[in-house]
Structure 1
Amino acid sequence: SAGKYTYPLEVKEQMFSFAYSQFPASWKQGSPFFYLCMEDPGLWEPVFGYSYEDDKAFEEAMKTSYRACLGRHRT
């Protein structure tokens, strides 16, 4: 961990799940794009209820979400 402190995965799961549960349901329909930067991939399923098969699938979903958001905000 290069001298960095972190929480055990069980604690992270509880914290992230609680935080995610506080967002309105309308925010969980694709926009904004939620992700756990530099966290264990095993946290995705218990926190968000879904996960990605691999990095490529994640990156494609993220790019698709960002493109859709940009398209909605163009004038």
Structure 2
Amino acid sequence: MSPAPQPESKAATLMRRLASSVVLLGVVFYGLLAGGPISEFLVGGLIMLLNIVGLFEFYGMVNANGLPRFKWL
């Protein structure tokens, strides 16, 4: 058997979240300030992606707690 993996340190978690925030804010600011069809696509795509990820996380927590799910898709 292999040993259990070590949990990620708080500093590594902070750096990962900070990096993703900088990238996402860069995309949002570019989309808001640049104008044009590409920027509208970037902002709209980012909003849809964040909604989908949030729903997956929500339904994962609901399923982990054994609560009833009201999911039609």
- When normalised by structure 1's length, the TM-score is 0.35
Structure with greater contact order relative to length (CA < 8 Å, sep ≥ 6)? 1
* More helix per residue: 2
- When normalised by structure 2's length, the TM-score is 0.36
Larger Rg: 2
